[in-house]
Amino acid sequence: MSVLSDRIAGCLDSASLVRKMFEEGARLRAEFGADDVCDFSLGNPHLEPPSEFKDQLRELATDPAPGAHRYMHTSGYPHAREAVACSVSQREGVEVPSSHVVMATGAACGLNIVLHALLNPGEEVIILAPIFPEYRFYIFHSGGECRIVPSKPDFDIDLEALAEAISEKTRAIIINSPHNPTGRVYPEESIDGLTKLLKEKSDELGRPIVLIADEPYRRLVYDGVEVAPVLPRYESTILVASFSKDLGLAGERIGYVAAHPSFPTELIEGISFCLRTLGFVNAPGLMQRVIAEVMDASVDLPAYKHNRDLFYEGLTEIGYEVVKPEGAFYLFPKTPLEDDRVFCKRLMNERVLAVPGSGFAAPGHMRISYAVKPEVIEKALPRFKTAFENP
């Protein structure tokens, strides 16, 4: 008899292919050596945090003021919430008060506490394929049901398919732009169409459909592309973000939830309650204090653009079909074989790790993270060619 509950055992059986491939990479490195394995499986930022962060961390970590490492209000330090509120307000063009900001233990925490606060048992959350696989488990643990809606071939929002999927059970929709796993940035006209549709459907239902904008990659955009602000377009919007990608702080687990000012305070109280009672308690205090001082800093973003161009040009020259990403640090090319899992195993024979698109509800593709050193990409391209020519 398993010591695990049936509920969690079932989750493990369908656990993320991303993590499984990352673990496979550890096996290959142990067998062949780290230098001979090209691992593109995990979106783990390789760029170091900017000097401003390190300077502030050093200063605040040695601050002799008493009480700096005690509990604070569950929602976060007032000055950290105010710094986030000011940044979001300026970016979105909507005045978001600090009372509508909750500091979170990363964006994953933010999504979980928002979903727990919103969902009644059996209510649906719509997510767009290709999906971020963990969304399914966040929704599951919150008592909701996940409904996956396909995107267009260029990975833009398919508004017709979305309209058909919305029902009386729909409570929320999660969008992610720049998008993981495709790198797509939804154009302004798509966000306009989405918010218009949600307003119409909300009126039909007699209650708002909540739009959750998951934006950890917001600042990782290229070629002058901009992420369309959502708050001024749709009042029932909750932003969730982190500093994992733009500051290279994935291991520090610091992020936030920012809700449109039209939401009642009971929503913020509910989100804070979930933060505390799900065991997060509060976002890391030291990180809150540092982030409040370095909101405008970032990693070396041109380095990611260089990697994108190097990888995209190399793969397309070989013959892979790739939609050029506009943001994040992923490519999502079609696999030469219809069975993406078989092709990714073929790549593993070349000691290259990519994640099958099936894990993102998009079979026939594979996700490649270019959050690596450029020399890893250069080493891998001939191996991608070998696998392409001998699938």
pLDDT per residue over 88-132, tens digit each? 999 999 999 999 999 999 999 999 999 999 999 999 999 999 999
CATH of the domain spanning 6-49+299-389, picked from 3.30.565.10, 3.20.20.60, 3.90.1150.10, 2.60.40.2220: 3.90.1150.10
User: CATH for 64-291?
Assistant: 3.40.640.10
CA–CA separation, 35 vs 311, rounded Å?
19
* Cβ-contact 109, 275 below 8 angstroms: yes
pLDDT per position as a tens digit, 370-391: 999 999 999 999 999 999 998 8
Write down the pLDDT at residue 6. 85
Q: Which of 132, 129, 159 is nearest to 147 (CA)?
A: 129
Write down the pLDDT at residue 234. 99
CA–CA separation, 347 vs 273, rounded Å?
46
Q: Which of 323, 361, 37 is nearest to 156 (CA)?
A: 323
**List of E strands, 145-259:** 145-150, 170-176, 210-214, 237-242, 255-259
- CB neighbour class for 11 (10 Å; exposed up to 12, middle 13-18, buried from 19): middle
Residue ranges, CATH 3.90.1150.10, the chain: 6-49+299-389
CA–CA separation, 118 vs 142, rounded Å?
9
Whole-prediction pTM value? 0.96
Residue ranges, CATH 3.40.640.10, the chain: 64-291
pLDDT per residue as tens, the chain (391 positions): 679 898 888 887 666 677 777 778 888 888 888 889 999 998 899 999 999 999 999 999 998 888 889 999 999 999 999 999 999 999 999 999 999 999 999 999 999 999 999 999 999 999 999 999 999 999 999 999 999 999 999 999 999 999 999 999 999 999 999 999 999 999 999 999 999 999 999 999 999 999 999 999 999 999 999 999 999 999 999 999 999 999 999 999 999 999 999 999 999 999 999 999 999 999 999 999 999 999 989 999 999 999 999 999 999 999 999 999 999 999 999 999 999 999 999 999 999 999 999 999 999 999 999 999 999 999 999 999 999 998 8
Write down the pLDDT at residue 232. 98
CA–CA separation, 149 vs 129, rounded Å?
6
Torsion angle in degrees (nearest 10) through CA of 93, 94, 95, 100:
-130
Q: Which of 311, 327, 322, 319 is nearest to 389 (CA)?
A: 319
Got the DSSP string for 283-310?
--HHHHHHHTT-TT----HHHHHHHHHH
CA–CA separation, 252 vs 239, rounded Å?
20
CA–CA separation, 367 vs 181, rounded Å?
6
CA–CA separation, 78 vs 217, rounded Å?
25
CA–CA separation, 176 vs 186, rounded Å?
9
Q: Which of 150, 127, 153, 294 is nearest to 213 (CA)?
A: 127
Write down the pLDDT at residue 65. 86
